[in-house]
Amino acid sequence: MSNRILPVVLALLPALAMGAKDYQLQSPSGKIVADISADKELRYSISYGGQSMLAPSAVSMTLSDGTVVPGDKVKVKKVTRASGDVTLPSPLYRRSEVRDNYNALTLQLAQGWEVQFRAYDDGVAYRFVYTSKKPLEIESEMVEYVFPADYTMTVPYVRSGNDGDFNSQWFNSFENTYTVTPVSELNGGRLSFLPLVADAGNGVKLCVTETDLNAYPGMYLAKGDGNTLKGYFAPYPTSVEAGGYNNIQGVVKERASYIAKADGARAFPWRVAVIGSDTDIASSDLSWLLSEPSRIADVNWIKPGKVAWDWWNYWNIIGVDFEAGVNTATYKHYIDFASENGIEYVIIDDGWAAGKGEDLMVINPDIDLEAILAHAAKKNVGIILWAGYGAFNRDMDAICRHYAGMGVKGFKVDFMDRDDQLMTGFNHKAAETAAKYGLLLDLHGTHKPAGLNRTWPNVLNFEGVHGLEQMKWSPGTVDQMKYDVTIPFARQVAGPMDYTQGAMHNATRSSYYPCGQQPMSQGTRCHQLALYMVLDGPLNMLCDSPSNYRKEPESTAFIADVPTVWDETLVLDGKIGEYIVTARRKGDTWWIGGITDWTPRDIEVDLTPLSLGAGSRMELFADGVNAHRNANDYVKSDMSVAPGSKMKFHLAPGGGFAAKIRK
């Protein structure tokens, strides 16, 4: 740990006050200012470099007994100011250290409540904290984002349910492409899940998210009056039945009149506004910084890595003497492929448990799990098992204990598809139980990470993304290329994601079509390679089949060599919805990935921030001259790179480039 300065806390009268009940909080650089008004209600506004970003927006909590916190006449008992500047170790993340530099303001209210504000140089966050031991029920939470103008929004709508019926929208997969539209034209009858982005003009964006989400419902936003977004939360489930996919999902039949219960003192989630340029937004660590620190004292047993995955490629292996499918011979083949290429894990996806996977203690008779695990151990490959939510939740302690004892390294848990209080609590319980038995988790079919990856770092990845699996069935009208250059500035602000990249069958916009049994990606080969640097994923999939990878040894070797956690990450250039260039360092080696939407473009990348030494060499994968006709076309080259040089790259439609720079 370096540059450690312990926070200094002072109890003050309202300094920097604009009035008796008005308070101001500035970021360390002074560029971001939050003005807080505690009068008839509690409101806050934000400016950035003198530009209004957020007009006065109300915050409150209403309890089931009718109490409103802080009430219609806000009474502030005490004001506490603090500052912090400390460098935190961040293993299993996109950089090995994270600077936590902020100014803070806490308003102590009546009846055991306080509101905490923090201002960083890249955003502002606030949360409610309850300090009493008395249990309570939260009927609702008031969250507003009142924009000073008709900002252009980039929002992911909930895909399920009916317009105007929010109750039908709570059950959803948190997977959708983005809608770009002014606030005034948003669909007020449809919820949007987080994160989402507002364009304030002048090259400045505001990304709304939340973090430190635990045993509390996730927040959705929908259009309110004027240029306002209002927060909505799934009510507390009182009756849940097995249903949905293979009867392994929890289908809510009845809900309470309140959104959450608290047994006593607790902190509630941080409401986060990340502010800055496009690259500032994509570089933000606020979701990680504002979450609860790791509950695992020693994380050395947690091994990130890449995963050979069976489901997306439909077990399409050829040239073998057995019928491929969910059987022992197939998974031994995947293990052999992983071992040959230094890939750390193999996932055995849906189908290894008998029937529809309702009981994880009963194994498909075509699967000799003990033999598979023995083969994997011999080849130094870890096995991760897929598990449906309902089956895993039924007795997760016994399941984790049993399979950890057999040598399984982790679980990919799927089909949660809710983020009410019970489900966000489940994610934490699953993480804790898995950690107890030394197991990794990949939470698929779930909401954004919201800080869980810091609190329980054995949870290496999360879905909550319209990932490559969607290309098995999505029509050509779905623009995955625009999506790919949007998520680094939106969804990824909340944490890593299980996108499942690595397709070897690549298609142009006109040649793409959905094919579940022999799937393809939109965009070029180099676009797929670049995603391993552009996207965060401590547990990263190789989605295609061993047979397809063996046909493409150059691409496969590059993917297999890419790290999944990093010492340093720099977003060198980018614009939401158009393109991005990301550089990541592991040791003395830099990896750079750049991608574009369907618009071909020429990009100049300044390598000065990388501080390259003399004699550096670049291994480069670039779109071939005919990649606009055949997306599989690429050129591999090796060249010297001078320190401080600027390099030009041509990106084909849906294209990209991927580079490795070493001494």
Which residues have a catalytic role annotated?
414, 469
Q: How many CB atoms lie within 10 A of CB 78?
A: 12
Q: Give SS3 for 484.
A: helix
| 14 cis-preceded (ω within 30 degrees of 0) | no
Angle between helices 396-406 and 369-378 in degrees, nearest 10: 50
Q: How far apart are CA 211 and CA 528, in angstroms?
A: 29
- Four-point Cα dihedral 491, 496, 502, 506, nearest 10: 10
Q: How far apart are CA 105 and CA 41, in angstroms?
A: 17
Backbone torsions φ then ψ of 239, nearest 5 degrees: -145, 120
Backbone torsions φ then ψ of 136, nearest 5 degrees: -155, 165
Residue 355 · residue 343 · CB < 8 Å:
no
The secondary structure of 135-153, three-state, reads CEEEEEEEEEEECCCCCEE
Length of the chain: 663
DSSP assignments along 149-212, one per residue = S--EEEE-B--SS-TT-GGGTSS--S----EEEEGGGS-TTS-EESPEEEEEETTEEEEEEEE-
Cα 378 from chain centroid (whole Å): 34
Which pair of tokens denotes residue 87? 């460098």
Q: How many CB atoms lie within 10 A of CB 437?
A: 18
- Nearest alpha-carbon partner for 428 in 172, 416, 408: 416
Specify the amino acid at residue 151. Y
| β-sheet bridge partners, residue 239 | 254
Which pair of tokens denotes residue 651? 């990106």
Residue 368 · residue 328 · CB < 8 Å:
yes
Element (H, E) at 527: helix 525-534
Q: How many CB atoms lie within 10 A of CB 585?
A: 20
Q: How far apart are CA 272 and CA 289, in angstroms?
A: 11
